[in-house]
A and B are shown apart, each in its own frame.
Chain A
Amino acid sequence: MMALSLLPAFEWLQHTYLGETIRHSAALIALLEIVHLIGLALLLGTILMVDLSLLGFGIGRQPVHRIASELNSWTKAGLAIMLISGPLILSSEAVKCYKTPAFWVKMALLAIAIAFYFTIHRRVTLAEQPASRSSQTFVAIASLALWIGVALAGKGIAIFQPV
């Protein structure tokens, strides 16, 4: 299995100066989790607005592409905040994460969600010509399911014990 070969990398990460420093400071871990949550709020809040617009619950008569293009940079800001704070939190408990299935579920969902966001989601939401009703609905539901899945799996890392 490919995943097995990653254990040394996770062990190395945890034993770096950065990982050790964060692990031994409850204040730093708490701070990083706060930043991570704020990033998530920004990401999910903006994605929710765009996906609700796709589902027909838009803001007044604003076209989807206008809402999407105005929120685009905030979604990316939220994602950037999470992608910086996330690996730092990971470095403090890398081996535990390696042994927790919820972590791998989260990484898989995250990879799919990011790929989906930067390809299909963007194409459908930013197009000035709206896509068909059914593809808009599909894209919105898939997007919401993926991102909420990422959040739930993230919570799962803290809840489920490593195996």
Chain B
Amino acid sequence: MFLLSICQWVDSTRLNAFLRQSNWAFPTLDTVHTLGIVLVAGTIMLVDLRLLGLGLRSVPIAQLVARIVPATWWGFGFMLASGGLLFSSEAVKMYHSPAFRIKVVLLALAGLNALIFHRTIYRDAAAWDPASVAPFRARLAGLLSLVFWIAIIAAGRAIAYAPGYDLG
């Protein structure tokens, strides 16, 4: 299978050998990855809670998004870079891990949800933003985002625990 052969190639690279042999690379990347996802989830949750009317109600959403999204992107950058390297250290194992596949799908769904939110209902934010409770579609986007990110954290942890991890 195409994806499997890519993973097999990744596992044969020098980068993979380095990541596997180094004593400090994996723990360091793991730490950066955890802090990255905490930054992403922590900042996104604030926007989600605001959309749901559960926090920061006196702050306009546009102001909150303008301030918080750069921090989210920083976290996402760290998460993606460290995640890519962690993947490179055991690509074939990840190919066989159901939790890893679920996590990738959830990441795509979280991205799609954010994209749809920003391209549709958020465009008219000027009209509804002053209200402390956002319109239904904005609240739905906030709720979905909360669910997706909690699920992404869960799937990430499950990669280390779920059966199938050692089948590769």
> Is the Cβ of A27 less than 8 Å from the Cβ of B46?
no
Instruction: Check B68 for interface membership: any CB of A closer than 8 A.
Output: yes
Q: A148-B35, A155-B31 are in contact. Are A30 and B45 (CB under 8 A)?
A: no
Does A62 belong to the interface (CB within 8 Å)? yes
Contact B34 A37 (CB under 8 A): yes
B60-A60 in contact (CB<8A): yes
In whole angstroms, what is the CA distance A67 to B30 when docked?
Answer: 32
Within 8 A of A (CB), among B1-56: 27, 30-31, 34-35, 37-39, 41-43, 45-46, 49, 55-56
Number of inter-chain CB pairs below 8 Å: 99
Tell me the interface secondary structure of chain B in the complex: helix
How many Å lie between the Cα of A43 and that of B40 in the bound state? 13
| Chain B count of residues within 8 A CB distance of the other chain | 34
Q: Is A116 an interface residue (CB 8 A)?
A: no
Which among A34, A148, A151 has the highest number of chain B CB atoms within 10 Å? A34
Contacting residues, chain A, for B43 (C-beta < 8 A): 45, 48-49
A30–B46 contact, CB under 8 A? no
Q: A127 at the A/B interface (Cβ < 8 Å)? A: no
Give A57 to B3 CA distance when docked, in angstroms: 44
B59–A159 touching, CB < 8 Å: no
| A55 shortest CB reach to chain B, Å | 12
Chain A residues bordering chain B, tally (CB within 8 A): 34
Complex interface: chain B residues within 8 A of A44 (CB): 38-39, 42
**Complex interface bits, A43-74 against B, C-beta within 8 A gives 1, otherwise 0:** 11110110010000111101000110011011
Residues of B within 8 A of A62 (CB): 58-59, 63
Chain A residues with a Cβ under 8 A of chain B: 26-27, 29-30, 33-34, 37-38, 40-46, 48-49, 52, 57-60, 62, 66-67, 70-71, 73-74, 148, 151-152, 155, 159
Q: Could you show 25 A-B contacts with beta carbons less than 8 Å apart?
A: A30-B160, A33-B157, A34-B150, A41-B41, A41-B42, A41-B45, A41-B153, A43-B42, A44-B39, A44-B42, A45-B38, A45-B41, A45-B43, A52-B67, A59-B59, A59-B66, A59-B68, A60-B59, A62-B63, A67-B56, A70-B59, A151-B35, A152-B35, A155-B30, A159-B31
Q: Please give me the 3 A-B residue pairs with the lowest Cβ-Cβ distance, nearest first.
A: A45-B42, A60-B63, A41-B41
